A = this chain, B = another copy of it.
Amino acid sequence: MTSPLRLGIAGIGTVGVGVIRIVQRHADLLAARCGRPIQITAVSARDRSRDRGVRLGEYAWEDDAVALARRDDVDVFVELIGGDDGPAKAAVEAAIAAGKDVVTANKALLAHHGQALAEAAEGAGGVLRFEAAVAGGIPCIKVLTESLAGNEITRVMGVMNGTCNYILTRMESAGLTYDAVFQEASDLGYLEADPTLDVGGIDAGHKLALLASIAFGTKVDFGAVKLEGIERISIDDINRAADMGFRVKLLGVAQMTGRGLEARMQPCLVPAASPLGQLEGPMNMVVLEGDSVGQIVLRGAGAGEGPTASAVMSDVVEIARGQRLPTFGQPASGLATPRPAEANTPAPYYLRMVLKDRPGALAKIAACLGAEGISIDRMRQYDHAEGSAPVLIVTHKAMRSGLDAAIAAMAGTDVLESEPVALRIEDV
């Protein structure tokens, strides 16, 4: 098998340019490692005239990604357009139908259509790989699918949106408000065109859904991921958490419980001294737990041209070397339909609220918690200002549903100045 592996690359933006640079720069290295050359034969983007800072003249050009996907001189279709529908989906489907292998960095596409696409690819004898779609340069798909294949996976966790981690750690280090750092992130180009994808936890939720599928042998079910964004996290929450030895992280957790598959992407408190707690700036971290291996922690850049292109090339090299794995580690047709857990496992919660400065206010709040069977571990009033009283409560282990009921009841007491912020304290 020394014939070249021929790539057709659709999308020549940040990631596409990165992949082309690697193929051009490391032709010899790749040939030595794969036992055959890697070639690009054709590319596609919207605007042919744009200077992308990379040599394209030697490649055929297609305006239409679907046409690229069907070319006879393409063995592997590399989809780097993005979007959960539209041209990316059409082109991937066309490539699969034409018997091509497919490599993509598109988490949105796979979170929504991964099951159908994987079944189609496997039915056609093709492979569909997506290392770059989850946590960028961190090789979590390969590690979970291959290195940990001898383990029953007990839990997967991850900080998988670098922008959110940048915002949260920058708020703490610079003492800035959420809005100020959000603006900074925007100026730095860290935010997606629709920033809700980042700060609303959607992008990271897509990634968690994909990891959960491999970990538990279940069909991708993005709808079952409980999503909560970081928009309501204040500098106050970050400082209070730090006082208690915690950091606030947008953390994804998936675990199989007796009550079904629990998957949530939400801001949490994690111990400041844990690897997750220590993760600074726009980095990503994936934590994989298996019954034999224990805990494996992977840390690296979750985005950017080089790291993401490195992950795309990992899939390309896999195909060039003749490795042919099912998309989610076992045949897609055999994946179980997950039963989403109705309730999350109990955990201690951090609860911050501002009360009206009235006698008995705190007692009313405590009663609301008590009525749901939630006991209080610590409670503290701080920064007592004219007319209002910020309060911090840490509960003992509680069900989120009970906590939500208690918070709803608090609203009826007329002692709240604003809606409480509730953050799960995660045992990492």
List the interface of chain A (C-beta within 8 A of B): 18, 22, 26, 29-30, 32-35, 131, 137-139, 142-143, 146-152, 217, 275, 278, 290-301, 306-307, 309-314, 316-318, 321-325, 329-331, 334
Contacts and interface: CB of A to CB of B under 8 A. Distances in A.
A300 B306 contact: no
Nearest to A21: B292
Among A26, A131, A217, find the residue whose CB has the most chain B CB atoms closer than 10 A: A26
Nearest to A31: B330
Copies of this chain in its oligomeric complex: 2
Contact of A295 (B294, B300, B334): B300
Given A146-B318, A331-B35, A151 B300 contact: no
B291 A32 contact: no
Contacts of A22: 150-151, 292
Nearest to A300: B296
B298 A294 contact: no
Given A139-B143, A143-B143, A146-B317, A151 B293 contact: no
A296 B298 contact: yes
A147 B296 contact: no
Main secondary structure of the interface of A (DSSP, over half): mixed
A149 B146 CA distance: 16
Contact of A330 (B32, B151, B290): B32
Nearest to A148: B310
Nearest to A329: B33
A151 B313 CA distance: 9
Nearest to A291: B306
Contact of A33 (B35, B321, B330): B330
A122 to B, nearest CB: 11
A300 to B, nearest CB: 4
5 contacts: A32-B217, A32-B330, A146-B318, A151-B310, A298-B299
Contacts of A30: 149-150
B323 A293 contact: no
A324 B149 CA distance: 17
Given A152-B26, A278-B278, A306 B324 contact: no
B325 A321 contact: yes
A334 B32 contact: yes
